[in-house]
Structure 1
Amino acid sequence: MSHPVADGAAAVFADPKAYTDESRLHATLAHLRVTAPVSLVDVPDFRPFWAITKHADIMAIERDDALFTNSPRPVLMTAEADAQQDAMGISTLIHMDDPQHRVARAVGADWFRPRAMRALKVRVDELAHTFVDRMVEAGGECDFVQEVAVNFPLYVIMSLLGLPESDFPRMLKYTQELFGSDDEELQRGTTKEEQGMALFEMFTYFNELTAARRATPTEDLASAISNARIDGEPLSDIDTVSYYVIIATAGHDTTSATISGGLQALIENPDQLQRLRDDPALMPLATEEMIRWVTPVKEFMRTARADTVVRGVPIAAGESVLLSYVSANRDEDIFVDPFRFDIGRDPNKHIAFGHGVHFCLGAALARMEVTSFFSALIPRLRSIELAGRAEHVATIFVGGLKHLPIRYSLS
C-alpha cells in the first residue's frame, strides 16, 4: 500500500493547542497511522521534519542510535527557540549521543538503580500518605493537579537532589514555565525574552547550588552531579547545570501528569476503579496503563546521519524525524482495543519511556511514585467524581492536565 509523503493533518505536531483536545488529537493521529505514517511537516516558524506515527517504526529508529542521533535537534522547537538554546550551549542527556551520552548518564545512574530505589521507597511512601492526608484536610474538594499531583513528585525529586523545602515552590514555578511556555496560563510573559528568563533563573539557581556543593559536599544527588568528573575533569558549568535541569524537570512534570491523568481515567472508568479496589495486586499493571494512557512525553526528535528509508519513504542525511509516542501508544497493530483504559492490560508494550540507549533514566522512580500514590489513595477512597472541567496544558513536548477539579470522600 503506497502512502503520500505529506499530509496536512501532520501539522498537528507543531500545534500546542492540539494537545488540549485529546479526542481531536487521537482522531488525527489514527488518520495519520493509516494514510501517512511517515509524513513531511513543513509549517511556519519550524524547520521541516518527518512525523513518525507507527510504534514499529519508532522502535526501529530508537534502536539504531548510530544512524539516528539526538544531536542536534532532540525535541521539537521553533527555529528561533532552537537557535536560542544553541547560543546558550545547553547540553542535557537528551542532547547527547554515545560515547558522550554513556559517560554522562553514568553520573546519575547509580541514584536510579534498584538498590537506590528500595532505599528511597520509604520516603516516597511517606510522601504519598502525606498528600492523601492533605486531600482529607482540603475538605472533600480540590483541584487535584495544582494541590496534589504537581507537588508530590516535586517533593520526591527535590528530596533526592537534597534541596531545601523552602525552594520547592520556586522550582515548581520554573518547571511549569519551561514546559508551559506555549500555554497562556502558565507561560512567563509573551515575548521570547520574557519566557527565556525562566530558564536563565533556573540556571542561576543551579550554578549557585553547584558552587555550594563543591565547597561543602553532602550525601545527595546534587553533590554527585556537582562533583562528578569525566576523564578526570570536572563537568563544565553549562554541563553541570544542564544535568540538574533534566533531572529536576523530567523527574517532576512527567510523573505529575501521569498521576493526574491516571486519576481522571479511573474517575471516567468506574469499572476499572472498582476492579483495582477489589484487586490491589493489579497496581503494577494499572501503573503501566496509566503511563501508556497519558504518555506525558509527547515526542522526541532524531536526525538521520546518512540517507535511509523509513516505511518506504526516503529520509535524507541531515533531515529530522519526530517520534510521536502519543501515537505509538495507541497503535492498533500493537495494542488490543487501544482506546480502552484497561488496568489489567498485559502485555503492555508502551514506549512512554522511550527505548534503547536513551530509555528514561528515572523510569523506575516514576513507576514507584505512581504505584505508591494510588496504593495510598485507593484503600481510603469512598467516592470520587469530577467537580468541573478538566483542562490540559498547551504543549508540544511534555505535559498533561493543568486542572482537574474533583469532589471526593476519603476515610
Structure 2
Amino acid sequence: MTTAEAIQVPAVPDDIARQIVLPEGHHDDVPLFAAYRWLRENNPLGRVEVEGYDPVWLVSKHADIMEIERQPDVFTSGGGTDPGSHNPILQNQAGDAFTRSLLGGSLRVLDAVTYLDPPEHTAVRGIATDWFRPANLKKWEDTVRGLAREAIGKSLHSGANDLDLVGDFALGFPLHVVMSLFGVPESDEPRMMALTQDFFGTADPDARRADVEELTPEAAARQWKAAIDDFYAYFDVLVEDRRKSPRDDLATIIACAKQENGEYYPKTFAYGWFVAIATAGHDTTSSTLSGTIEQLALHPELLTKVQQNPQLLPDLVNEGLRWSSPVKQFTRRATRDCTLRGRRISEGDRLMLLYQSANRDADVFDDPDTFRIERRPNRHIAFGYGPHMCIGQHLSKLELRVMFEELLPRIRSVEITGERRVVQTNFVGGLRKLPVRLELSS
C-alpha cells in the first residue's frame, strides 16, 4: 500500500448502509444486490455508521478484499480481550457487549481459525490441512457418491416431486456427509441440523430458539452462545471417545491433535473445529446446491446444456458458488494506520468484507449479474482468500459435483411453484424455502 491523497466520493446513503449492515436488510436479496452495485460504482470503500453498530468500512470490490485478506498482519481477524479487539463476525454493539460479559471481556467466542491470527492460526489450521487436500479427499469420493444416491432415493422418486427444495432435499445431504465423516450417528443428525440453523439464524425470526427472548438487542448473541454451548456438550463426548479409541477418521485427527509440547490441545480447540465444520461445512454447501438448482429451473436451457456436456459440471459448481456466495461477510480490524484505495484507514478501524458484492464485480466478471456456466476464468472468492481461505473448499466442491453428477442426468424438468424465501442474516445464508416441481426419470 502507498500513501495517497483522500479521494472525494459520495457519502454512502443511510438506506444503502442499513440494507447491508442490518440482518433484516438481507431478507430480500434483490435490493441487496442493487445496494452492492451502488457501492461498487459510487463509493467502493465507504465508511458508514448504522445506529447500534460500530462504525465500519464497507469493502465492496474484489481487488480490495484480496488486498486485505493477503495481509493478516495489517488487517487482523482474531478476537481478543484487549480494548481494541473486535468480533470477526459483525453483530450489534449490544451483542458484542453481551458476549464480553459472558467471556470476561473477550470476543473470542470459539477457539476456531475464524477467530485466530498467525502464528496461532497457522498451527491450528495445520491440524487438519492434510486431510482436506484433494489427494486425500479422493479416497472419500465413493463414500460421498453413495450418500448422494441415498439422499436422492430418500427424498425423490421417479415422476413428479412437489417439495421444498431446501428443507426437503438440499439441507440434508451436506449435513449427512459431514456427520458421516465425523462418525456421528445418523439418529443424531436432526439435533445437528437444529443447532446449525440456530447458529446461522440468530437474526431470523423463523429460526429463533424458544429459550431466547425475542426482540432484545443482545438476542442474536444469546442464541449464538446457546447454540455453541449445545454443540460443546455434544462434541465433548466425541472428543473423549476418539482420545480413548482412535479411528481412521477426521474426528480422531482433530480430537487427538497435540501441541509442540506433546500435550493435547485444550478441548475447546477440538470443539472449535467441530463447530466450524458442522456449520460452515454444511450450510454453505446446501445454500449453493439449492441456489444453483434454482438457476437451472429459471434457465432450462442451461440444464439441457450441462446434461449434454457433463464435462461442464465443475464449471457449474464454480458458477453456483460465485452466484450464491453464502458467506456474505467477515470483518477485519486495522492494526495500524494505512491507505487503501486512496482512503485513510486508521488503526482500530473495522472493515466489513462483502464477498457477495466482490463476486459481482464487473472489473473481474463479464456480465456479472448473469448466471453463466461457461465462465472462464471464474475467479470467485466465495471461499475467501489468503490465509483464511476456507479449508473445506475442496470437500464442498466434491459434494456439489458428485450430487450434480447423480441428480442432473435424471431431471426431466424442474419448475419453481411458489414464493422463494431467504434466511434473514447478514452473515451466512441463502434460500430458506423454494417450492419446486422436480420431475425425474426412473
TM range (shorter): over 0.9
Q: Residue 107 of structure 1 aligns to a residue in which SS?
A: coil
C-alpha distance in 1, partners of 2:25/2:299?
24
Q: Greater CA deviation, 196-205 or 102-111?
A: 196-205
C-alpha distance in 1, partners of 2:209/2:52?
20
Shift of 1:303: 0.8
C-alpha distance in 2, partners of 1:208/1:171?
14
Q: Residue 398 of structure 1 aligns to a residue in which SS?
A: coil
The TM-score normalised by the length of structure 2 is 0.90
Shift of 1:389: 1.0
Q: Greater CA deviation, 152-161 or 235-244?
A: 235-244
Q: Greater CA deviation, 106-115 or 11-20?
A: 11-20
Q: Which amino acid aligns with 2:91?
A: M
Q: Please point out which of 365, 375, 379 is paired with 2:405.
A: 375
1:362 equivalent in alignment to 2:404:
no
C-alpha distance in 1, partners of 2:120/2:9?
38
Q: Please point out which of 10, 18, 28 is paired with 1:21.
A: 28
C-alpha distance in 1, partners of 2:223/2:207?
13
Contact 1:257 1:294 in 2 (8 A): yes
Q: Which residue of 2 aligns with 1:93?
A: 113
Contact 1:49 1:320 in 2 (8 A): yes
C-alpha distance in 2, partners of 1:92/1:82?
18
C-alpha distance in 1, partners of 2:289/2:426?
19
* 1:92-130 deviation line (CA, Å, top 9, x unaligned): 111111110111001111221122210111111111122
Shift of 1:357: 0.9
Q: Greater CA deviation, 161-170 or 71-80?
A: 71-80
* 1:289-323 deviation line (CA, Å, top 9, x unaligned): 00000000001111111101111111111111010
Q: Which residue of 2 aligns with 1:404?
A: 434
C-alpha distance in 2, partners of 1:196/1:156?
25
Shift of 1:155: 0.7
Q: Which residue of 1 aligns with 2:305?
A: 275
Q: Please point out which of 151, 172, 175 is paired with 2:193.
A: 172
Q: Give unmatched runs, 5+ long, in structure 2.
A: 1-6, 80-86, 214-218
Shift of 1:384: 1.1
Shift of 1:288: 0.3
Contact 2:202 2:223 in 1 (8 A): no
1:393 equivalent in alignment to 2:407:
no
* 1:363-411 deviation line (CA, Å, top 9, x unaligned): 0011111111111111101111012111100011100011111102111
Contact 1:385 1:407 in 2 (8 A): yes
Q: Which amino acid aligns with 1:127?
A: L
Q: Residue 140 of structure 1 aligns to a residue in which SS?
A: strand
**Mapping of 1:49-198 within 5 angstroms?**
49-72=56-79, 73-86=87-100, 87-88=102-103, 89=108, 90-137=110-157, 140-189=161-210, 190-191=212-213, 192=219, 193=222, 196-198=225-227
Q: Which residue of 2 aligns with 1:12?
A: 19
Shift of 1:21: 1.4
**Mapping of 1:203-214 within 5 angstroms?**
203-214=232-243
Shift of 1:243: 1.7
Q: Which amino acid aligns with 2:192?
A: M
Q: Which residue of 2 aligns with 1:329?
A: 359
Q: Greater CA deviation, 211-220 or 368-377?
A: 211-220
Q: Greater CA deviation, 321-330 or 368-377?
A: 368-377
Shift of 1:344: 0.7
Contact 1:7 1:39 in 2 (8 A): no
Q: Which amino acid aligns with 2:88?
A: P
Shift of 1:194: 5.4
Q: Which amino acid aligns with 1:44?
A: E
Q: Which amino acid aligns with 1:206?
A: F
How many corresponding residue pairs? 411
Q: Which amino acid aligns with 2:230?
A: E
Q: Greater CA deviation, 217-226 or 251-260?
A: 217-226
The alpha-carbon distance between structure 1 residues 273 and 80, as it changes in their structure 2 partners (threshold 3 A), is: same
Percent identity, aligned pairs only? 39
Contact 1:331 1:338 in 2 (8 A): yes
Contact 2:132 2:394 in 1 (8 A): yes
Q: Which residue of 2 aligns with 1:233?
A: 263
Q: Which amino acid aligns with 2:179?
A: M
* 1:175-214 deviation line (CA, Å, top 9, x unaligned): 0111011111112135234563222111111122212222
Q: Please point out which of 331, 344, 347 is paired with 2:377.
A: 347
